[in-house]
Amino acid sequence: MRLKLNQLGAWLGAVSTSLCAVPLGQAQVQVTDSVVVVVDASGSMGAEMAGTGRDRMSVAKDALKQVLDQIPDTTHVGILVFPQGNWVYPLGPRKESMLAGAIDSIQSGGGTPLGDYMKRGADVLLDARRKQFGYGTYRLLVVTDGEAGDARLVEAYTPDIISRGITIDCIGVEMASRHTLATKVHSYRNANDPESLKQAISEVFAEVASVDAGQTGEDAFELIADLPEATASAMLKSLSTSGNQPIGESPSMRSVESPSPNPAPSYSGGTTSSQSTSGAEDDPLVLLCAALCVLGIPGLVIFAIVKGKKK
């Protein structure tokens, strides 16, 4: 049994590591993985980094290049720099020659709207995900010393971004060890620690056969054995419907299951997210489609009435 499980694991791993590894054929929408890097180029990043004789920004740039080197060539990359607010490298296919130049062009100076820019980066990822119907992987890589002028927004947006299924990775430059971005995100690398930068982006296995190589499949199932089917079902639904609405906003339409001419909008006042239970994707396409359906039905009826065939 174990041999079989391991073989399946190897196969699943091969299939799941990169979407582009499998040629998807013609007449088919292509799917890509995306990474958005948010680079802190605030004044504090110009400070000298203790014990290096270099400024934080230079160390951060080298660290970033090293981490990006570990990302597959097919992954789309975007680099957003704050407080300057420009995309030195707009999210898109990776061109090695331009990527390094973009990173080198970053100059430090100014305020630290870290939370705001995490939101902007995440919103671009959510938009990319919407356009790909949810397929692909979406990562936000934050390069910062952690000093934020909007620390409250960082606190609020971080869990919201995570709850949407975006993976947050952080490259910290002399960052406080108890900082939200050091403790609450999926991976943390220290820019000044070569070993930590080498930490590869771990492979994600989608299915159970690959759980803990030393464990048999049956042991893994034991962990969820007590979960009632209905509870499991609801939990899965909650996880898989996190929505593509901008960070900090609630879905504007709770359910797309019964599109009605006057969908009741349900806004909640808070900026933090607790909306992922609703099961609705706030997808403009869905809204547009619902609207078109409503408008289109009388037209179709007229069209159909005009049609006629007798044999």
Partner 1 sequence: MKANKSIIVGLALSVSVAAATAQTKLFSELVGPGSVGSVKAGGALQVPFIIWGGDMATFHANGGLKTKSGTIFQKQGLNLNLTPGDDFVQQVRDYRSGKSAFLRGTFRMMGQASEVIGSDPRTKGVMIMQMTWSAGDHLISREAIKTVTDLKGKTIAVQQGGPHIGMLDDVLKTAQLGWDDITVKFYDALTGPGSPPEAFKDDLSISACFAVTPDMIGLCTDLNSVGTGAEGTVKGAHVLVSTAELSRSIADVYVCRKDFYDANRPLVRKFVAGYLKATEELVDKRAAHDAGTRDQSYINLLNQTVQIYTEEVLPNADEAHGLLLDCTFAGYPGNVSFFEKQGNLHGFEAFQTASLELATSRGYAKQKMGLFPSGLNYKNDDFLKYLNKTEAKQGERFRAEAVLSEIEELSSGGLLDDRTILSFTINFNPNQTDFSAVRYAAEFTRVIEMADKFGNAVVAIRGHSDPSKTLIDLIKAGNAKGTLRRSGTQGNYRYSLNGRALDLNDTSQLVDAIAAGDFDGVENYNPRRTMQAALNLSRNRAGAVKNSVAEYAKAQGITMDLSQIQPQGVGIAEPFIAKPRSMDEAKQNMRVEFRLLRVSAEVTQESDFDF
Query: Do the Cβ atoms of 80 and 36 come closer than 8 Å?
Result: yes
Min. distance of Cβ 290 from partner 1 in angstroms? 8
Instruction: Name the residue nearer to partner 1 (CB basis): 195 or 257.
Output: 257
How far lies 111's CA from each of 62, 115, 181, in Å?
A: 22, 12, 18
**For residue 20, what is the DSSP state?**
G
Instruction: Name the residue nearer to partner 1 (CB basis): 147 or 281.
Output: 281
Query: Do the Cβ atoms of 2 and 214 come closer than 8 Å?
Result: no
The three-state secondary structure class of 294 is: helix
Instruction: Name the residue nearer to partner 1 (CB basis): 27 or 50.
Output: 27
Question: Which residue, 73, 281, 85, 253, is CA-closest to 165?
Answer: 281
- Would the CA dihedral through 66, 71, 76, 78 be positive or negative? negative
Instruction: Name the residue nearer to partner 1 (CB basis): 142 or 209.
Output: 209
Which amino acid, one-letter code, is at 23? P
Min. distance of Cβ 189 from partner 1 in angstroms? 11
* Separation of alpha carbons 239 and 66, rounded Å: 32
Min. distance of Cβ 224 from partner 1 in angstroms? 5
Q: Give the phi and the psi of residue 300 in degrees, each rounded to 5.
A: -65, -40
Instruction: Name the residue nearer to partner 1 (CB basis): 28 or 97.
Output: 28
Min. distance of Cβ 50 from partner 1 in angstroms? 26
Min. distance of Cβ 115 from partner 1 in angstroms? 16
